[in-house]
Amino acid sequence: MRKGLIALALATVLSAPAFACDMHGNSGFVEENNLWISTDAKSVSTIDEKEFTKIMDKIEKIYKPVIAAKGKTLELIRKWEDGTVNAYAQQTGNVWKVSMFGGLARHETITSDAMALVACHELGHHLGGQPRKKSWFGTTWASNEGQSDWWGNMKCMRKYMEDEDNITIAGNLNLPELAKSKCDANFSDANEVAMCYRGAMAGLSLGNLFRALRNLETELKFDTPDPKKVTATNHNHPAPQCRLDTYFAGALCDRDAYADVDGTSHTKNVCSRTAGDVDGLRPLCWYKVK
């Protein structure tokens, strides 16, 4: 009888929908928060419903065929009216879901590029490869938080930006000197340099979101990386400065955006210490080198 109950419980858990960034902000793109930013809230955000839809349409156009090639279906759920300040990824059978909320888009720290990077982070849970989150039953389907941040800027954002007038767009950014010099050093093509600028600043926008949600007084900067070195890979949300470091590293990595990561390898088609790379590496504030 007892064995039967255990088997039933196990089957129930394994058959339940699996979340990476949990629904309704409980453990989503950002940690649990009770913020709700309605459509009529006064905000300095430049993202309206038209811009929100444009961003999501473009992300979906790029990644729907990528996921279809894997025999799965991408469902990008747009909840503009919902004031939740979060986002999440879910797999239910062959349907891979990404849910995006208007409340996050309306937060005062969020730029259009940052909103695209959030969607890329959620796709990273599905496509980002190793390291993956851990559970009671071992490794899950979802790439962990740091990996999803890194992959989002390194692979997804480059695809998202590549057909745009990046040089003009980047020219309007107030880019800190360190970020500029690092991007200039890692790319020779002007368009790729400009995409690096945009990716770095999208990461800073999100860093400022994390800072605001934690009520941190210390400013996040590109030239003040998190000095922490973990003894084991952190699969949860890293500290805000560490997440900024991760986004910046993703922007600096010069690997081909169309060269897929590997579901088992930590080093295939990404910047790595074993390949002798200096920039663009997973930060040690969340990643323990294999």
> Alpha-carbon dihedral of residues 57, 63, 67, 72, nearest 10 degrees?
-10
286 located within any domain: no
107-113 average pLDDT score: 97
- 165-186 pLDDT, tens digit per residue, is 999 999 999 999 999 999 999 9
The one-letter amino acid code at 252 reads L
Residue 153, phi then psi, degrees to nearest 5: -85, -35
Band (pLDDT 50/70/90 cuts) for residue 140 is confident
- Write the CB contacts of 223 (distance below 8 Å, at least 6 apart in sequence): 176, 178
- 213-272 pLDDT, tens digit per residue, is 999 999 999 999 999 999 999 999 999 999 999 999 999 999 999 999 988 999 999 999
pLDDT at residue number 27: 61
pLDDT at residue number 32: 84
pLDDT at residue number 42: 77
* Cα distance between residue 80 and residue 57, in whole Å: 13
9 located within any domain: no
pLDDT at residue number 15: 37
pLDDT at residue number 2: 45
* Cα distance between residue 30 and residue 92, in whole Å: 22
- How distant, in Å, are the alpha carbons of 28, 61, 161, 187 from that of 258? 27, 15, 13, 17
Band (pLDDT 50/70/90 cuts) for residue 69 is very high
Band (pLDDT 50/70/90 cuts) for residue 26 is very low
Q: Is the dihedral of CA 231, 120, 115, 174 positive or negative?
A: positive
Residue 149's nearest CA partner among 218, 267, 237 is 237
99 located within any domain: yes
If one counts the domains in the chain, the total is 1
* Cα distance between residue 120 and residue 98, in whole Å: 10
On whether the CB atoms of residues 122 and 100 are closer than 8 A, the answer is yes
Q: What is the average pLDDT score of the chain?
A: 91
84-106 average pLDDT score: 97
Residue 133's nearest CA partner among 124, 142, 125 is 142
**Token duo for residue 141:** 């389907």
pLDDT at residue number 114: 98
Residue 98's nearest CA partner among 128, 65, 71, 76 is 76
267 located within any domain: no
Instruction: Give the strand pairing for 87-92 and 73-79.
Output: unpaired
36-51 average pLDDT score: 89
Residue 38: pLDDT over 90: yes
pLDDT at residue number 96: 98
pLDDT at residue number 20: 59
pLDDT at residue number 284: 98
Share of the chain above pLDDT 90, in %: 83
193 located within any domain: yes
Lowest pLDDT segment from 13-17, 26-30, 273-277: 13-17
pLDDT at residue number 19: 53
258 located within any domain: no
pLDDT at residue number 263: 87
Domain that residue 53 falls in: 18-252
Band (pLDDT 50/70/90 cuts) for residue 12 is very low
On whether the CB atoms of residues 273 and 289 are closer than 8 A, the answer is yes
* Cα distance between residue 2 and residue 4, in whole Å: 5
199 located within any domain: yes
The residue ranking higher by pLDDT, 8 or 92, is 92
79-89 average pLDDT score: 97
266 located within any domain: no
Give the residues across from 138 on adjacent strands.
135
